[in-house]
A and B are shown apart, each in its own frame.
Chain A
Amino acid sequence: MPNTIPLNVLVVDDSKLTQKKISKVLEDLGHTIVGTARTGAEAIEQYAVKNPDVVTMDITMPDMDGIEATKGIVAKFNDALIVMVTSHGQEQMVLDALKSGAKGYVLKPVQKVKLQEVLEQVIGKYMR
């Protein structure tokens, strides 16, 4: 079920296993993984180097969490398209993520159909 627009994606998650799982879903949807990062600081660095179309961003990470990393990326690249990928079902956390500059979110465990829906919404609404 490939997405119509192939995207270059940066996958941010402190778990290597989760990185692999999200990458597999994205590749199955026809996208390319241009980089991975395991910390918020690494994500900010990688964004500047890889210039991805979209970032999938975990919220709960050691050192700098996904919300702070999103703020850091958006401060430098205000058109960055960041989708939070989180297990956190609590509304407040999701709202905080969106306030930090994320354009959408998807809950873990990541379902292929859900991720595709969110990417299509984000791309349709924000990609220039």
Chain B
Amino acid sequence: MEHPQLDAKTAHVAIWKRNEEFLVNELSMELTELRHNLIPEGKFYRLRDFTAIVTLTGPAALHIAFSFDQGFMEKLFAAYAEGLDDDGEDPSLYYAEAAGDVINIVVGNATADIQVPGAALVLSPPIMIEGSNRIVRHRTSSIHMTDIRSPEGSMSIATMHLERSDSHRL
């Protein structure tokens, strides 16, 4: 019996809502603006300075990216690491790890909101990318994107879905 599929938009909405809840309630960050986009075919999703990507598999195959600019990451890290002993290391060495922790917590928590009965959602460990770049939307994929701004900088969330499985054809 086939399980119902999880659609990318439903997952994306659950993820950005959990992200907002985490940043505001857990880290006491002030968010000033949210903008949602569905990236058109041939256009691209621009990555910021620090990006973490996870894959959610099961009733969907989604790649989810959280991408932070320097200012947003500095503020996020200061809040996330508050109360921890200073080990003398440069805090920027931990930025990629903090990005990985945040995406793991937010997307992991969001799986409670997007459960598909009888089908397990499996979350991969995060992959980190440093330095800005871009992901171009292929015609067989969709990219739902939310841009989030704070006084210190901005971040974005992208939920990427391969809509048809014909991309492997030569």
Chain A residues with a Cβ under 8 A of chain B: 14-18, 20-21, 24, 60-62, 86-93, 96, 107-109
Asked if A89 contacts B120 (CB within 8 A), the reply is no
Q: 6 nearest interchain CB pairs?
A: A87-B108, A89-B112, A90-B111, A87-B105, A88-B108, A92-B120
Bound together, the chains give a CA A88 to CA B123 distance in angstroms of 8
Instruction: Mark out the residues of chain B between 87 and 134 whose CB falls within 8 Å of any chain A CB in the assembled complex.
Output: 94, 97-98, 100-101, 104-113, 115, 120-121, 123-125
Given contacts A15-B97, A90-B111, contact A109 B22 (CB under 8 A): yes
Whether the pair B97, A17 counts as a contact (CB closer than 8 A) is yes
Docked complex Cα distance between A89 and B115 (Å): 9
For the complex formed, measure the closest distance between the CB of B12 and the CB atoms of chain A, giving whole angstroms.
17
Q: Which residues in A have their C-beta under 8 angstroms from that of B94?
A: 16-17
Chain A residues with CB under 8 A of B104? 15, 60, 87, 108
Binary interface encoding of chain B residues 16-36 relative to chain A, with 1 for a CB under 8 A from any of its CBs, else 0 = 000000100010000000000
Contact A88 B101 (CB under 8 A): no
Whether a CB of chain A sits under 8 angstroms from the CB of B42 is no
Whether the Cβ atoms of A60 and B97 lie closer than 8 Å is no
Q: Which of B22, B81, B108, B110 contacts A60 (CB 8 A)?
A: B108
Neighbouring A residues of B100 by C-beta, 8 Å: 15
User: A21–B27 Cα gap in the complex (Å)?
Assistant: 14
A94 CB, min distance to chain B CBs, angstroms:
10
Q: Which residues of B contact A14 (CB under 8 A)?
A: 125
Contacting A24 at CB < 8 Å: which of B84, B101, B110, B112?
Answer: B84
Q: A86 contacts B120, CB within 8 Å?
A: no
Instruction: Kindly state the separation between the CA atoms of A17 and B78 in the bound complex, as whole angstroms.
Output: 12
